[in-house]
Every structure is written in C-alpha cells, then in structure tokens.
C-alpha cells in the first residue's frame, strides 16, 4: 500500500509517517517505480504500536526502547515494567502539579467575582504580587497548553481522519 492508505489505516498524518521514518522509528520502506513508498502489514503493525504508545503520552525515546524489547524476545521484560512504572510516575506527578495549579487559579479567580474596571481588578492585583517560590521538584513534565503545531497529540488518536 502507499502512504495515504497507511495513514488512513492507522489514523496518522502522512507527514507524521515520513517524520517517523526520518526519525528512525519506522523502517525505511521499499519504493515503487515512481518513487512512492510501499508499505506492508508489518508497517501497519509497527505504526499502530507507535500511535498507541503516543496516545499514552510516551515519548518517542520511550517508544524506541519498547520497540527494542519487542525485537529481542529473549530479554527479560523487567525493564519494560520499569519504564512503564516511571511513566506512570510522571503522569501522577503532573496531575498533582495541575491540581495545585487549579487551586491557585481558582483562588485568583475569586478575587474578581464581579465585573469592575481593570484598575481595581483583583485578579490583576493578585498577579502583580511577588513571586512565591513553590517547592516543586524538577520533572520533565509539560505545561497546560498545546495550541502548537499538533492539535492531535496528547489527546489520543481519534479515528481515521479523512
């Protein structure tokens, strides 16, 4: 099959597939006479694996490690467990951070329940206050926003986009 069909089958953007190839996550496919990429079932499996991992918010690095384990079946899978435990830890940590954040934001929001002019807005006043260093520990956890280039990431893969 050509790249478009692979994209449809796996609910992946065509550009993303080429990106994975460049990144070494997908093996380089055969080419047709007209220089089109030709994929088979193995590619569908492999890409589905990647997308499933991505829908679980794993990094491409983590996925690379998992792929390595898939390809060396004799190895012990304790490392797979460890990787997953770490990942679960990250998610839990990010949730806790977001909970704190929500509290702070709601606190701030209550400073300005009614509508007045910006000169006396409690929210703006609150934001102008000194910075309170929070005791949060270092983690590789992302922020809240994602209007970046990929509206698809971090929200699961939602069916085939036609």
Partner DNA sequence: TAGAAACCCTTGAGTAGCTACAGAGTCAAG
Partner DNA sequence: CTTGACTCTGTAGCTACTCAAGGGTTTCTA
Q: Distances from the Cα of 126 to the Cαs of 58, 69, 119, 120, 122, in angstroms? A: 36, 51, 12, 11, 6
Which residues lie below 8 Å from residue 83, measured CB to CB, with a gap of 6+? 62, 65, 66
129 is an interface residue for DNA by CB under 7 A = no
Give 18 or 126: the residue with its C-beta nearer to a second copy. Answer: 126
Does 160 bind DNA (CB under 7 A)? Our answer is no
Q: Which is nearer to a second copy, 33 or 78 (CB)?
A: 78
Segment 16 to 35, residues that bind DNA, using CB under 7 A? 16, 18-20, 32-35
Subset of residues 30 to 89 that bind DNA, contact rule: CB under 7 A: 32-37, 54, 59-61
Of the candidates 5, 15, 16, the residue with the CA atom closest to the CA atom of residue 44: 5
The CA-atom distances, in angstroms, between 142 and each of 50, 66, 160 are 20, 22, 27
The minimum distance between CB 147 and a second copy, in angstroms, equals 4
What residues line the site for DNA (CB under 7 A)? Answer: 2-5, 7, 13-16, 18-20, 32-37, 54, 59-61, 143, 145, 147-153
């Amino acid at each position: 099959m050509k790249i478009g069909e692979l994209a449809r089958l796996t609910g992946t953007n065509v550009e993303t597939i080429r990106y994975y190839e460049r990144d070494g996550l997908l093996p380089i496919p055969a080419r047709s006479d007209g220089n089109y990429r030709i994929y088979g079932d193995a590619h569908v499996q492999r890409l589905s694996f990647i997308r499933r991992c991505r829908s679980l918010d794993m990094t491409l690095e983590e996925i690379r490690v998992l792929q390595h384990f898939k390809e060396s079946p004799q190895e012990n899978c304790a490392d797979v467990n460890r990787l997953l435990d770490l990942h679960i830890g990250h998610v839990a940590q990010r949730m806790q951070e977001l909970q704190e954040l929500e509290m702070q934001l709601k606190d701030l929001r209550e400073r300005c329940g009614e509508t007045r002019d910006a000169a006396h807005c409690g929210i703006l006043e609150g934001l102008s206050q000194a910075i309170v260093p929070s005791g949060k520990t270092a983690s590789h956890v992302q922020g809240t926003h994602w209007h970046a280039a990929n509206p698809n990431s971090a929200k699961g893969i939602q069916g085939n986009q036609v």
